[in-house]
């Protein structure tokens, strides 16, 4: 992450519902010993910046340095565990690992805190609005036991936010003490509104987010669940594209991958496989002509080529669609609607080589939904499980308006507002992008 | 296979270059014992029909019944093994297992017959025409040792036939005794022309085909290599589509699969996974309205649905593209150009539900090239290896103008002409299609 | 299959409970049209031998030739479908595809025949004996909907037969009309005893077997479910062994595979991968010294080697364990207890090379249980599903004392007794074994 | 990592061969622009500890805090790139990702620095000692292009160190400027001796290590390559064990995993899958009786159970093997020989349940070599590639006697000596172990 940061300590403070009155339970199973359980403390924090320049006269001032509150089980709880009711909701597009998060949260609530009840909300925020007619289903350790083996979300998901007043009404009606929301940008803006509506009404309901963005593009969060699975599956698609490219004269394998604003999946998949000859990402504008010239040169030299394009790249080639008020069109999640750069590239390349009268065999691969719906790889399974567990810990301690984060090897607490305040993108000067350029051999400058 | 057959014994006769003069070699490695090797004989044949009706007064007449010549090593050879030069060429689209066939043919020629030389022809028939500028590469047991681990074709492929006179000139120049062609319909028509040109010139070059059609749609051949891998990979795509369909309100997973004229991949993938609710295949015309009504009913009842459509289905919904002479347009392989039924269905379904004002979340998955480029599953690896090996056996015995086939558990010899004389399609009354209907619950009649 | 066969037509006759009185139901779903359903007839049979020698003066006599009754839905049924209760039981070791069979049988019974009830018996024949304390669980289309995604058996299995009188008592108590047993040799002997006990008591309960032997070693049955998955997974283990073998000086990868009496898994896995240098199977006795000499030669030439040994090979190297009565010891399934040839070979090879003072790096891989518990590959999934469905068809027609078989491309009915009357083994003169020898380069004679 | 640390800044200093005289090359390909390349500096360091306690009056003193030098390309080089010759050697057991490291190092040397030559040393340190008769093979971008697709090591490996004087003689003879060693503990002790011998002779050859320990048990290094692949594959083995366990009455799946001194693979695999009921690791001594009692209770309650045991656990149950001098026996790598705890547990469990007369179905799975020889998963592929690249960067800058490390998200330089000064183990009080206990439900105390 190489983005300019302008943060204050204040911004990193986590809100709380009030005094932590209850002791964490210790005798749920007979196997635990009180003295053995290790609790996390609000005072231990992880530094924002852990690289120093020993030539600067740093000494790190006596002020508290920029740092994140650490996630983890607290010894004192705000909620009385055995009276606590949770609800969990999954929003936005699918992402590998959602079911792992849900499962782990439920297990943690029941086995870690002896919680009273745990609701699974069907189909995203829609499930919290009575008009849609969905009923929450109760989740138990037994009912979630095997859900992590499946991709997708057993609860179902939906895009878009709903009326926060109705949502809070539903939470009250269900006597929910804590709402866990799994989602991305748009979902978190919604979660933040719910959190503020709760505050406005003086309710004691905590709102805890778990970041879900397959693109791994959140500021202040090093890694989101599902990302490793996504680029691993993308790498497989690239292998197949390479096979197609080498299987015909002047073969081109063109793979469109996820990445609305950030090209992380494209970059990592290219690094994992190293059979990619050009990566186009949203962070770098490109001239169509430069792409064509590089492709022509590559085919002349080697006879085959693989191009990877992130869905958000090259949007400048489309006239922005605007609604009746002249505003850019957005989808139900509030994301700008992307035009299909993959098909545009396909057409442009075909046109270019036809004009030049050069034989071309282009195969277009779009594995998007096959990746989003994959079950989590084991590394993501562990990671997603930890996120779900920490969300319950945060909620039990009365923390609210926050999301669980991950920073330089530690799980953190991050205010919801901050999590949606910007985006992590690939700096073209970063080690990551340099590695991609070295691996592909593509020109640095595509203008 | 439930198609009407009208065959004569004569049609099943295999052409031969002449008397089989040479003994099969037995001392290539020290490990074989002459008495132990089992040779196949031209007299042993496999019956075309092995199901009888015991009530008919059959008794199977004293005539030779309809039957195929069996593939296998012959004791007497037409070619002198250690003077024999082979060439192998791969044509048309990729299909899992091509490299297994190539590898096995090379191994068989060298280790089974001590052959003199084995050429790999680059990029299909193009590689046999000097103007394209490709050079044949020599294949050896060492050079092909690991190629079966990769998908695709290490030789490269191309579509379309070339001038057979030039091709035969090249074969003469390379002193090739036998040409092995791996390909489908179009390739076989080309191979047959090469065979006839050779005959016309009185040359002693054998032409042996190995059928490659991922659609498994050849008449008189029960199974072609790559088909099992193809429907297995397709089943994985369907799983993902099902996950997407259940992950959103009124979710529809729409999967387009291969199948130009026959829906075997779609049918078997649906049977393997059994989470498909509708299969559309070229063999059955359908009314768009019937499809929509079934989809609406299914979503109303269950909230999600998976539709599988073979690429050749519903072509009647497009006006046929015609060239300047008023003939239907064909691609380089001579196949009729198919319109994109997948995208048409996508649009029609979206339109229908929008008109009805019903929420719909349709995810479109087209795994085509990811399937074609997959490495062969072990069952296909064994099968493809056998085909390659039998092709060499046939060639060494001087057989020509034939393809290796597979019939009711035995490998066979089949005249090239017969192999392209028609297509195997799914009978709507077959056990297979009945099973699909039972598994999906779709209506039998889509009119 | 190259074994000597001595069969009479009589032996292939299928027993029946009586006249088929009921019509097959046609209006279960609204989608079927009576005239469209294709029923199988008892008169259509598949020939035992479909290879003829056109020089023999066969003419196939006017007698009914040796042939199997075909499986399939009959138009007339013995049981009244909507009054029929099924029970299904899975016995013996795990095998990929069991759940596919169970699922398909349940679906067929409910959707194909509108059956009354379907019991799943827990833990094999134990579940039919009250003393063990298990209760049958009712299976419904909903409860079995996703079970095919898991390996193993959702019902659980057990080895060994139980008192058939108690079993039949339980069947009566549960008002079961048909018992479907999934199992191997031992299970079928048990099933046959149950069938005979039922007959003795004059009961109208049909007993239908579905053959489960991962070794694919049943006579008169070309292929059993799970076999393709088994050798495919075995091939993966061999790849890993090859990697280990090439990763160290004089590396030997030694892989022990299933195969009590028949080396089919070892042979096919070796053919699929073609990186195996020696295959030892039960069908071929070997001198330890010959194995060592070949290994030494191979390592001297190539520096690495992969050996595959089937578990039943080399049993002559162990003194047979005998029980107190002097009889060979058997396990609970009635199978002779096998000694561990894998570990013996490991020790012998290490000893040999140590004596010769040659560096050796042997890695031993035993993937047995990982293979048995794998989920079915799609080809096996389709196949297992068909078996389950045909078992219900046979039962509804009142057939009993039979197992579903598969012969040269068709599903068949086979008397239970015949299915356990012998074993299919690899003939050392078969094409299959010849191919293995060619692929490995091992000597034909290991004496 | 929760181990007690007692480090000084001095210990973290990296040795250097001398002044960095040469400029990093910038014009190897035409695609790079001088101003764009970002170099790392020796002054930027990553903090050892990035968690602070805001209540302590830290302020982090004005001294340079404990921190690691960062890995990365330096602007000034010690070696003249186009005159530099590398050698790379892979030692010890196989681990997923070795070929990725080798490939990346070769690519980096040629494409990043225009290096002169790159030797691959066959079969570990043996390949550097003439008596073994191996010849180094030259590695080029072309020859290593596809090696990352295979598991294992294309160079081959061997265990044990060799005479460092002979090794250094060989390096001189080959005119090697930098030796890259991929290996673990023992290898690094060897590498350190080579480094010291070089220093003793006043030679200018840099020695750079890349840590390879599938157990992920190095101090001061957060993650080693291959670990993620290893526990992911282990998780698959556990799935299969779970299937076996549920498939028979009182089924127990017993899985032995890698982990000589540290149970990380066992712990993470258990967390990934969450179907494990007991994890035994070297860090925790256990009473056999406690294990048995827990197993008995679990089986009584649930009827099935999965136990995972790391190979180094329970070694106290074996009398230590000692050599003639009374020292513990070690293998060729200098590792203490481990007794087989897996088989001991298997026997003990069987004995216990037999005594209690309780039916037991135990299936033992040891996937060790299948895991070690697996190809790297994409996450490991990226990671291993980065390590190989950074090793070349360090060597070019003249750094020596170091290994590439990874610490809280950054790649680091670590003195070879430190890397072998201790081991990272699981603290029984760590979050990790707590999570495992929660996931399994096993008792904290096994005494």
Residue B220 and residue B418: Cα distance in Å, rounded? 8
The closest CB to that of D44, out of A44, A51, A112, belongs to A51
Residue B354 and residue B336: Cα distance in Å, rounded? 33
The closest CB to that of B382, out of C31, C268, C437, belongs to C268
Point out the least confidently predicted range of A275-284, B433-442, D162-171: B433-442
CA–chain centroid gap for B247, Å, is: 36
On chain C, the residues whose CB falls within 8 A of the CB of D149 are none
The closest CB to that of D151, out of C158, C240, C367, belongs to C240
The answer to the question of residue B447 being in a domain is: no
**If you average pLDDT over residues C80-97, what whole number do you get?**
95
Residues C202 and C264 in one domain: no
Residues of D serving a catalytic function are 215
State residue A32's pLDDT score.
46
**If you average pLDDT over residues A397-412, what whole number do you get?**
91
Compute, in degrees rounded to 10, the torsion defined by CA atoms A345, A347, A351, A352. Answer: 10
Residue at token pair 């010759």: D85
CB contact under 8 A, B389 and C67: no
Residue C375 and residue B273: Cα distance in Å, rounded? 12
The secondary structure of residue A64, as a DSSP letter, is P
Residue in chain B nearest A98 by alpha carbon: B247
Three-state SS for A264? Answer: helix
Query: CB-based contacts of B225: which residues, under 8 Å, 6+ apart?
Result: B95, B96, B97, B100, B101, B210, B211, B212, B376, B380, B383, B384, B387
Residues A260 and A139 in one domain: no
Residue C57 above 80 pLDDT? no
Band of pLDDT at residue C91, cut at 50, 70 and 90: very high
CB contact under 8 A, C369 and D244: yes
D343-367 confidence digits (pLDDT tens): 999 999 999 999 999 999 999 999 9
Residue D443 and residue D441: Cα distance in Å, rounded? 7
Residue C2 above 60 pLDDT? no
Selected residue with higher pLDDT from C39 and B166: B166
CB contact under 8 A, B271 and C430: no
Inter-residue contact A196 to A154 (CB < 8 Å): no
Q: How far is CA A2 from CA A222, A309, A410, A435, in A?
A: 11, 22, 19, 15
Total CB pairs under 8 A between chain B and C? 185
Closest CA to D39 of D6, D66, D69, D72: D72
A3-12 confidence digits (pLDDT tens): 345 667 677 6
Inter-residue contact D200 to D192 (CB < 8 Å): no
CB contact under 8 A, B64 and C43: no
Residue C22 and residue B442: Cα distance in Å, rounded? 26
Q: What is the mean pLDDT of chain D?
A: 88
How close is the nearest chain C Cα to the Cα of D74, in Å?
A: 34
Residue D79 and residue D112: Cα distance in Å, rounded? 13
Mutate to test the interface with B, among A369, A375, A376 (most CBs of B within 10 A): A369
The answer to the question of residue A1 being in a domain is: no
Chains with at least 3 CB pairs less than 8 angstroms from chain C:
B, D
Q: B14 phi and psi, to 5 degrees?
A: -100, 130
Residues of A serving a catalytic function are 215
Chains with at least 3 CB pairs less than 8 angstroms from chain A:
B, D
Residue C162 above 50 pLDDT? yes
Inter-residue contact D177 to D205 (CB < 8 Å): yes
Residue D364 and residue D253: Cα distance in Å, rounded? 6
CB contact under 8 A, B441 and C409: no
Query: CB-based contacts of C143: which residues, under 8 Å, 6+ apart?
Result: C137
Which secondary structure element, helix H or strand E, spans residue C164, and what is its range?
helix C164-173
Three-state SS for A148? Answer: helix
Inter-residue contact B212 to B418 (CB < 8 Å): no
Residue C294 above 70 pLDDT? yes
On chain D, the residues whose CB falls within 8 A of the CB of A430 are 38
How close is the nearest chain A Cα to the Cα of D314, in Å?
A: 21
Residues A171 and A44 in one domain: yes
Residue C31 above 50 pLDDT? no
Mutate to test the interface with C, among D121, D131, D150, D248 (most CBs of C within 10 A): D248
Which of the following is catalytic: B215, B217, B380, B393?
B215
State residue B195's pLDDT score.
95
The closest CB to that of D247, out of C132, C152, C239, belongs to C152
Q: A218 phi and psi, to 5 degrees?
A: -90, 135
Residue C150 and residue B88: Cα distance in Å, rounded? 42
CB contact under 8 A, A378 and D62: no
Residues B117 and B38 in one domain: yes
The answer to the question of residue B323 being in a domain is: no
Band of pLDDT at residue C52, cut at 50, 70 and 90: low
Residue C30 above 60 pLDDT? no
Selected residue with higher pLDDT from A428 and C323: A428
Mutate to test the interface with B, among C62, C382, C410 (most CBs of B within 10 A): C382
State residue A56's pLDDT score.
58
On chain D, the residues whose CB falls within 8 A of the CB of A112 are 438
**If you average pLDDT over residues A418-423, what whole number do you get?**
84
State residue D104's pLDDT score.
95
Q: How far is CA A258 from CA A152, A378, A390, D41, D138, in A?
A: 16, 21, 28, 34, 39
Band of pLDDT at residue C38, cut at 50, 70 and 90: low
Residue B268 and residue B223: Cα distance in Å, rounded? 13
C106-135 confidence digits (pLDDT tens): 999 998 888 999 999 999 999 999 999 999
Token representation of residue D309: 């045991």
The CATH number of residue C43's host domain is: 3.40.50.450
State residue C58's pLDDT score.
47
The closest CB to that of C438, out of B111, B378, B409, belongs to B111
The answer to the question of residue D286 being in a domain is: yes
* Long-range Cβ pairs for the range B41-44 (8 Å, 24+): B41/B74, B41/C53, B42/B69, B42/B74, B43/C53, B43/C54, B43/C55, B44/B70, B44/C51, B44/C52, B44/C53, B44/C54
How close is the nearest chain D Cα to the Cα of A404, in Å?
A: 16
Which secondary structure element, helix H or strand E, spans residue D178, and what is its range?
strand D178-183
On chain A, the residues whose CB falls within 8 A of the CB of D269 are 378
Residues C18 and C117 in one domain: yes
Chains with at least 3 CB pairs less than 8 angstroms from chain B:
A, C
Residue in chain B nearest C412 by alpha carbon: B51
Residues B218 and B236 in one domain: no
Q: Residue A327: how many CB atoms within 10 A of its CB?
A: 9
The answer to the question of residue D195 being in a domain is: yes
**If you average pLDDT over residues B125-141, what whole number do you get?**
96
CB contact under 8 A, A369 and B366: no
Residue B391 and residue B208: Cα distance in Å, rounded? 6
How close is the nearest chain A Cα to the Cα of B241, in Å?
A: 7
State residue D4's pLDDT score.
43
Please calculate the CA angle D24-D27-D30 and round it to the nearest 5 degrees.
150
Selected residue with higher pLDDT from B180 and D66: B180
State residue C339's pLDDT score.
85
Residues C152 and C284 in one domain: no
Q: Residue B206: how many CB atoms within 10 A of its CB?
A: 29
Token representation of residue D321: 């093997």
On chain C, the residues whose CB falls within 8 A of the CB of B430 are 38
C358-374 confidence digits (pLDDT tens): 999 999 999 999 999 99
Structural domain range at position C281: 227-371
Residues D85 and D209 in one domain: yes
Task: Report how many domains make up chain C.
Answer: 2
State residue A27's pLDDT score.
46
> Catalytic: B323?
no
Residue D98 above 70 pLDDT? yes
A238-249 confidence digits (pLDDT tens): 999 999 999 999
Residues D270 and D397 in one domain: no
The answer to the question of residue A2 being in a domain is: no
The CATH number of residue C232's host domain is: 3.40.50.460
Band of pLDDT at residue C34, cut at 50, 70 and 90: low
Residues of C serving a catalytic function are 215
Question: How would you class A247 by CB atoms within 10 Å of its CB: exposed for 0-12, middle for 13-18, buried for 19 or more?
Answer: buried
Chains with at least 3 CB pairs less than 8 angstroms from chain D:
A, C
Three-state SS for D387? Answer: helix
Residue D306 and residue A355: Cα distance in Å, rounded? 64
SS (H, E, C) chain B: CCCCCCCCCHHHCCEECCCCCEECCCCCCCCCCHHHCCCCCCCEEEECCCEEECCCCCCCCCCCCCEEEECCCCCEECCCHHHCEEEEEECCCCCCCHHHHHHHHHHHHHHHHCCCEEEEECCHHHHHCHHHCCCCEECCCCCCCCHHHCCCCCCCCCCCCCCHHHHHHHHHHCCCCEEEEEECHHHHHHHHHHHHHHHHCCCCCEEEEEECCCCCCECCCCCCCCHHHHHHHHHHHHHHHHHHHHCCCCEEEEEEECCCCCCHHHHHHHHHHCCCCEEECCCCCCCHHHHHHHHHHHHHHHCEEEEEEECCCCHHHCCCCECCCCCECECCCCCECCCCHHHHHHHHHHHHHHHCCCCCEEEEECCHHHHHCCCCCHHHHHHHHHHHHHHHHHHHCCEECEEEEEECCEEEEEEHHHHCCCECCCCCCCHHHHHHHHHHCCCCCCC
Residues B274 and B171 in one domain: no
Residue B241 and residue A371: Cα distance in Å, rounded? 10
The answer to the question of residue B200 being in a domain is: yes
Residue D27 and residue D114: Cα distance in Å, rounded? 10
Three-state SS for A149? Answer: helix
C402-419 confidence digits (pLDDT tens): 999 999 888 998 889 888
CB contact under 8 A, C94 and D243: yes
B18-68 confidence digits (pLDDT tens): 777 677 665 444 344 555 556 677 777 777 677 766 665 444 444 567 778
Residues A172 and A231 in one domain: no
The answer to the question of residue B320 being in a domain is: no
Residues A134 and A240 in one domain: no
C127-143 confidence digits (pLDDT tens): 999 999 999 999 999 99
């Amino acid at each position: 992450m190489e983005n300019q940061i302008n943060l204050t300590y204040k911004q990193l403070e986590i809100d709380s519902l009030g005094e932590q009155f209850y002791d964490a339970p210790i005798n749920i199973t007979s196997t635990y010993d009180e003295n053995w359980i290790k609790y996390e403390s609000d005072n231990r924090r992880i530094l924002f910046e852990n690289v120093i320049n020993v030539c600067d006269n740093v000494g790190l001032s006596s002020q508290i340095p920029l740092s994140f509150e650490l996630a983890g089980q607290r010894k004192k709880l705000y909620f009385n565990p055995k009276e606590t009711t949770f609800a969990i909701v999954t929003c936005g597009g699918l992402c590998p690992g959602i079911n792992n998060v849900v499962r782990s949260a439920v297990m943690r609530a029941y086995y870690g805190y002896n919680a009273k009840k745990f609701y699974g909300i069907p189909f995203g925020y829609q499930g919290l609005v009575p008009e849609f007619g969905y009923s929450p289903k109760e989740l138990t350790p037994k009912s979630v036991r095997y859900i992590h083996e499946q991709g997708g979300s057993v609860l179902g998901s939906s895009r878009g936010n709903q009326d926060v007043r109705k949502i809070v009404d539903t939470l009250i009606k269900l006597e929910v003490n804590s709402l866990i929301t799994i989602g991305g940008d748009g979902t978190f803006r919604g979660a933040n509104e719910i959190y503020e509506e709760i505050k406005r009404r003086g309710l004691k309901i905590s709102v805890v987010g778990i970041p879900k963005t397959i693109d791994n593009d959140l500021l202040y969060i090093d890694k989101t669940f599902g990302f490793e699975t996504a680029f691993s599956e993308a790498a497989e698609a690239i292998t197949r594209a390479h096979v197609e490219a080498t299987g015909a004269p002047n073969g081109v394998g063109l793979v469109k991958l996820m990445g609305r604003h950030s090209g992380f999946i494209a970059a990592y998949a290219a690094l994992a496989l190293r059979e990619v000859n050009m990566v186009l990402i949203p962070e770098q504008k490109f001239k169509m002509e430069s792409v064509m010239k590089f492709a022509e040169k590559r085919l002349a030299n080697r006879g085959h080529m693989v191009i990877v394009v992130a869905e958000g790249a090259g949007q400048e080639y489309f006239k922005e669609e605007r609604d009746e008020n002249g505003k850019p069109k957005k989808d139900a999640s509030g994301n700008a609607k992307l035009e299909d750069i993959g098909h545009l590239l396909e057409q442009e390349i075909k046109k270019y080589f036809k004009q030049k009268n050069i034989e071309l065999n282009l195969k277009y691969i779009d594995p998007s939904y096959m990746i989003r719906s994959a079950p989590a790889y084991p590394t993501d399974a562990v990671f997603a499980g930890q996120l779900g567990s920490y969300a319950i810990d945060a909620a039990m301690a009365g923390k609210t308006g926050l999301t669980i984060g991950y920073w330089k090897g530690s799980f953190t607490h991050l205010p919801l507002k901050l999590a949606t305040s910007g985006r992590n993108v690939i700096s073209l000067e970063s080690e990551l992008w340099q590695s991609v350029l070295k691996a592909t051999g593509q020109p640095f400058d595509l203008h």
